[in-house]
Amino acid sequence: MMKRSGVLFLALVVLVSFVGSASAAKVIKIANYFPAENFANKVLYETFKPMVEKETNGELEIQVYPNSQLGAEQEFVEGVQLGTIEMAMTGNLWENTVDIFKLLQLPYLVNSYEHADEVFNGPIGQKVYKHLEPLGVKILGAFPRGFRVISNNKKPINSMDDCKGIKMRVWQGEVIIKLMQGFGFSTVVMPMSEVFTALQQGVVEGQDNPLETSYYSGWYDVQKHVAITNHIFGFQYFVVNQKFWDGLTDSQRDAINKAVAVSIKEITEATKKGDAELIRLTEEKGLKVTYPDLAPFRQAAVPIIEEFLKKTPDAEPIYREIVEAGKKFEKK
């Protein structure tokens, strides 16, 4: 009798263990390089995470890793490709392995938030995103970071001639490197995680990013001047490992897609409204804001655009489509 009871007890333990493991939440790590207080991370914590977990009845658990906790951007981009990281919010490092992605980083490509949203979150964007499929990565959507501007601690930039003699940090992308050099800067490639210290120690003297990124990264402590050049419209992608995505149920994928869409809307509205406020806050920190004539900057960008389209003929019809789409958003 005791032997039989022992067998029954062991079977019960095994059954409970099986049920427990079967009902355990599937973890989704989502990495990014933004500081924890950045609005994008606020949305991840306060909107994306609770929505996904509620919609899936706890089947999925979201773990947010801000501020490059899972490595610099190149490292967590590779992590998503390998499947060691399920999701991430990434910039355009994809251009280093998929040439057509350079298209979305071409200077002066879009003219407004509305134009950018139509490109990045519509059929045009999908024509580019599909090229990530061989890498085992899927883009679920994109949100704006705003127009990129230039800051430095050496001198005010009132014209393109003032760019000469400034060491500019750039990220590892062919388009941005050529563009900054075309403006007259000397360039130093480094990841986002090293920028503050590099500016502080004089390794570089300037950087380019949307105002939101610059402000909430605290770079106003190590910069003196900001030039509103609006040379590239910054976007960030919600990306997921394709194999992981395929392993989810339809309802789980629906929950994530819904949360992504709501998150993008919240971030877009806040970023768009915050532009003017960020200029005011930047000036309050003691930085001098200048508005150079953009015509020479645009002209310096033309050879870069032409060279890319010549080298990547598949991109040209999409580029023309983007330009055509922008006409309805041009200010009269």
Q: pLDDT tens for residues 82-100?
A: 999 999 999 988 988 899 9
Extract the tokens encoding 162. Answer: 């003032």
Query: DSSP E strands: which ranges in the chain?
Result: 26-31, 60-65, 87-90, 137-152, 167-170, 186-189, 206-210, 225-227, 233-241, 288-290
Dist CA 136 CA 253 (whole Å): 17
- Helix boundaries (H) for 184-249: 195-201, 211-216, 242-246
Dist CA 72 CA 32 (whole Å): 8
Dist CA 171 CA 144 (whole Å): 18
- What pLDDT was estimated at residue 37? 86
Is the pLDDT assigned to residue 181 strictly greater than 90? yes
- What pLDDT was estimated at residue 13? 42
At 332, the pLDDT band (50, 70, 90 cuts) reads: low
Single out the residue of 192, 160, 198, 153 nearest to residue 173, CA to CA. 192
- What pLDDT was estimated at residue 258? 98
How much of the chain exceeds pLDDT 90, in percent?
Answer: 81
Which range in 6-15, 208-217, 303-312 is most confidently predicted, on average pLDDT? 303-312
Extract the tokens encoding 145. Answer: 């970071």
pLDDT tens digit string along 162-176? Answer: 999 999 999 888 999
The rounded mean pLDDT for the chain is 92
Buried/exposed 213-250: b ≥16 CB within 10 Å, e otherwise: bbbbbebbebbbbbbbbbbbbbbbbbbbbbebbeebee
- Strand pairing of 87-90 and 26-31? parallel
Extract the tokens encoding 40. Answer: 């994008």
Dist CA 220 CA 143 (whole Å): 24
Single out the residue of 260, 201, 197 nearest to residue 48, CA to CA. 260
For residues 318 and 24, which has the higher predicted lDDT (pLDDT)? 318
Beta-ladder partners of 143? 236
Look at domain 25-329 and name its CATH class: alpha beta
Question: In this structure, are residues 217 and 195 in contact, taking their beta carbons and an 8 Å threshold?
Answer: yes
Which residues neighbour 308 within 8 Å (Cβ) at sequence distance 6 or greater?
Answer: 102, 103, 106, 175, 315
- What pLDDT was estimated at residue 213? 86
Annotated domain spans of the chain: 25-329
pLDDT tens digit string along 45-64? Answer: 999 999 999 999 999 999 99
pTM: 0.84
- What pLDDT was estimated at residue 23? 61
pLDDT tens digit string along 61-75? Answer: 999 999 999 999 999
pLDDT tens digit string along 310-320? Answer: 999 999 999 99
